[in-house]
Chains A and B, each alone.
Chain A
């Protein structure tokens, strides 16, 4: 397994947010984490990369438990994270944003260069010197993914990549994610949008109120319309 999460519990101050979260991601797999707003998708991702301080449980990445390690070490081991809010450095240019994400080559992951990323996201190549703050939402979303790929991750946590994007950009996003998959990057993508998830994912988990309540292939999910309707708003 590429990534195994077991019994993950997270707190914000006195509030208990995640309850015994567990899921797995295989090598080269694209796994969707589906759930409504506030279900705990982002907190799950933030907990995995260590941005939520109060967390317990086991997070095995490439066979090693990373749950006790600081964020930057987890990321340097090849676990990339693309936050939902994008968090582009607005004062930095596109190229500088990419520079912040740059990490050395990794033997077990595809190597991304600026040129390769500009081929993947052609829009970015046309605005290399534009400050991140003066880009559209779709362009920022591409930049935030490209920035994480500059770290040559072997697995990427993609937090709601389609949120707030126009259908045309969403199409481009699907293409990009499929390219990443083809290159050999394992991906966990959190989504509210089942259609989007279906286009890219091999398997799916459903999270509701901080608990995993379904796990299976996309076909298995389609066979259970009751679960789908109960936990996902369409």
Chain B
């Protein structure tokens, strides 16, 4: 019994940091509508700076002072980020903000290694809380008890701040209607900045308080951000009480899941999250949201099929690409194959996002399922390569059919979060079901047959499939199905009114995109000769998002260009510099700020400007179009 109590208390102690970080994220999202991916990075910087300060400053005062000073320093960094970067993109679509903050995260990951080195740093114990308390023969670190007491205090302080101060009232008002707050004479800019500072401060405190419990390392950010996303989604985005309850729930699930269901401990929280989202899409304590801001601007630049000249140009580009094996070496061909495969992956997500208006945060799940499908068929059933390539993607198709059915019941941020949760479930299965998937060791030895084994042949295969997939999806955009799907994207209500079954359209699009991603994954398995859980991990999902946004989500061919540029740049940077994340992150941020329409969007705009004077103002950055009166 005592053991369970101690386990429960350990869970509560872990909940403290999680709650601090999650409440910060929730507050920021509530007002600015930015899903701040960089929140984990601020948490990590908080831990690093606190480590340095607590090492330098001695005594009790030095320790606690160091923690507070670290959090304040990070809040200042947050303010600078807000003023320099985020202010420029508040009116951009949600995903751009996510992309920009993801770019920041990448940069921070390299920066902390540059400053503090790659090794884990073990910090000081907290003065006054060094010992442990004996509880029926079990030890409870007294620092844990301190953390357990801290969270309700923070909750209370935040509650007072939001309920009893003018600032809190303004923040709550802005959470609901930012423009109206401005129309009552409140300077939103500073309100946003202050909210961001408070949110980042909370994240940094959460990080700094981890020092006595855990080593500081440069992968802390991703680990916490996923858990924090889960917490805010379960609790309800924008709700602080919700963040508190969900942080406790998630931490206890982690603490007891290991004991009760050791086989599925990682999945457990994601299962709970998926269940909550399906039953109560806005979270336990959240409020149903008004329809999300639409991505405007498509009316200005309507899509059209390629003209015959453009078709010739595309064909010429394909032919040029096909001549690569004539002059390039094996390494270049392998890189070329990888890029072609990622084109398949990116166009599949691009189809879902730009045509269907559904931004999936877990698209790698279907890519990875395709890869595992091939691995199972090839290794266990011993089927020939062609059959594997044809049947393997069906695993992605089935995954998309099951998950997509639930996912399309939601929309906007919640859709994104649910897809993320499903992807994590699939990842956890691959990771934990060692007897079937090999777990972390993956499945090795998935090599192509002789006819496709040479780099040039495999390159041609990948290129051919990529071209076919791209053409097929493009044709679909301009088919009746594509028109209907675009209808559901632009106005679900009006589509229903003209007799389109919105959910079924979206589900179909989801399955198509998942299957296509599976095709990419199937080829990827043969390219690498192996399959690992990483093939369905979050970072791959984020890669896909970056590719799509980089190319331009409002364009038809953005996915192709985005994949080529991103993947080529990625591979080239890794070979050129140790600071590839820093450069890549900086590049992403730059793209978002300077070319918010993506590469293809920018080119289209330039071409248009040359043709005629551009319409007044950037449609993307304009406020959402409202009915004129």
Which A residues have a C-beta under 8 Å from some C-beta of B? Answer: 11-15, 17, 37-43, 49, 51, 53-54, 70-73, 75-76, 81, 83-84, 87, 89-92, 96-97, 99-103, 147-148, 151
A91 and B628 contacting across the interface, CB-CB below 8 Å: no
Looking at the complex, which one of A13, A71, A90, A151 makes contact with B182 (CB distance below 8 Å)? A71
Contact residue among B166, B617, B629 (Cβ-Cβ distance under 8 Å from A99): B166
A151 to B166 Cα, complex, angstroms: 14
Partner of A72, one of B173, B176, B186, B629: B186
Are B185 and A42 touching (Cβ within 8 A)? no
Q: Which of B5-13, B74-82, B328-336, B618-626 contacts A (4 or more CB under 8 A)?
A: B618-626
CA–CA, A87 and B176, complex, Å:
9
Complex: A212 Cα to B180 Cα, angstroms: 27
Contact (Cβ within 8 A) B185 A87 = no
Nearest-CB residue, chain B, relative to A49: B183
- Near A by CB (< 8 A), chain B positions 149-199 give 166, 169-170, 172-173, 175-177, 179-188
Separation in Å of the A56 CB from the closest CB of chain B?
Answer: 9
Structural contact, B623 and A89, CB atoms closer than 8 A: no
- B188 CB contacts on chain A under 8 angstroms: 72
In the assembled complex, how far is the CB of residue A102 from the closest CB belonging to chain B, in whole angstroms? 8
What residues of chain A lie closer than 8 Å to B185, measured between beta carbons?
A: 72, 75-76, 101, 103, 151
Listed A/B pairs (25) with beta-carbon separation below 8 Å:
A12-B625, A13-B625, A14-B299, A14-B615, A38-B629, A42-B629, A51-B182, A54-B622, A70-B187, A71-B182, A75-B184, A81-B183, A87-B180, A89-B177, A91-B287, A92-B176, A97-B173, A99-B166, A99-B169, A100-B170, A100-B173, A100-B184, A101-B185, A103-B185, A148-B184
Most buried by A among B187, B619, B628: B628
Residues of B contacting A151 in the complex (Cβ-Cβ under 8 angstroms): 184-185
The 3 tightest CB contacts between A and B, nearest first, are A75-B185, A42-B629, A76-B185
Interface residues of B in 577-629 (CB under 8 A from A): 615-617, 619, 622-623, 625-626, 628-629
Closest to A10 in B: B628
**Which chain B residues border A75 with CB–CB below 8 Å?**
182-185
B317 proximity list for chain A (CB < 8 A) = none
Please give me the residue from chain A that is nearest to B623 by CB atom: A53
Pairwise interchain contact A100-B186, C-beta atoms closer than 8 A: yes
Task: Tell me whether A89 and B628 are in contact in the complex, defined as CB-CB below 8 angstroms, given that A11-B616, A51-B183 are known contacts.
Answer: no
- Taking a contact as CB atoms under 8 Å apart, the answer to whether A72 and B187 are in contact is yes
Asked if B628 contacts A147 (CB within 8 A), the reply is no
Q: Report yes or no: B625 in contact with A72, Cβ–Cβ below 8 A.
A: no
With A and B bound together, what is the CA distance between A97 and B172 in angstroms? 10
Interchain CA distance A5-B615 in the complex, whole Å: 25
Cβ of B587 to closest chain A Cβ, rounded Å: 29
CB nearest neighbor in B for A85 = B180
Within 8 A of A (CB), among B541-556: none
* Contact call B186/A89, Cβ cutoff below 8 A: no
Q: How far is the CB of B558 from chain A (nearest CB, A)?
A: 21
Chain A residues, CB < 8 A from B176: 89-92
Q: Are A13 and B622 in contact (CB under 8 A)?
A: yes
